[in-house]
Amino acid sequence: MSHQKEARQPGTVEENELRLPKDKSEQIIDALNTDLAATYVLYHQLQKHHWNVEGAEFRDLHIFLGEASEHAERFADVLAERLQALGGVPHASMSTLEQESPVEPEDERVYPIRTSLENDLEMYGDIIESLREHVGLATDLGDHATAEILRENLVQVENDAHHIEHYLEDDTLVR
């Protein structure tokens, strides 16, 4: 006979050992699940571009997009673990991640790399705005550890977006 507890449902919040009141945890968990969903959509789009990049700057872009997708994948893991520590259930199914994401993924078509990077930059901008908002929320609710986790990733997200801006300069991506 199994001694396992009943399955926890998404959207439920349990008491946590971090001594953050449940009402505050619920707000933070909701924000982190939004960031988790957006991060996974970004990860998959960066991977798509990593796989399909072509052209004169193939090698540099292939490496950059691979590294940027690894940054997103690592952050998704950090978010999911923090959600769990706060008593929440991280979004995990592909359909839920896409449905709950505030950013729209590209369709299946393969676009020229300049268009792909412009789409990535747009997505990064939306994620940057969301992360800034959620840093403020976590700080206001007294969850300084979560705010720090979000701040650390915000630096990486802004850095990756800045690199894309450089690739999109007029003297790059040979036409």
Question: Which residue ranges make up each domain of the chain?
Answer: 22-167
SS3 134: helix
Task: Give the pLDDT confidence score for residue 175 in this predicted structure.
Answer: 56
Q: Please tell me the predicted confidence (pLDDT) of residue 19.
A: 76
Q: CB of 133 within 8 A of CB of 147? A: no
d(CA 140, CA 137): 5
Average model confidence (pLDDT) for the chain? Answer: 91
Q: Say what the pLDDT of residue 173 is.
A: 55
- What is the homologous superfamily of the domain 22-167 according to CATH? Ferritin, core subunit, four-helix bundle (1.20.1260.10)
pLDDT number for residue 67: 98
pLDDT along the chain (175 residues), means of 10: 59 69 92 97 97 92 98 98 93 92 95 95 98 98 97 98 92 58
Beta carbons within 10 angstroms of residue 60's beta carbon: 12
- Please give the pLDDT value at position 10: 63
- CA 125 – CA 166 distance, rounded (Å): 15
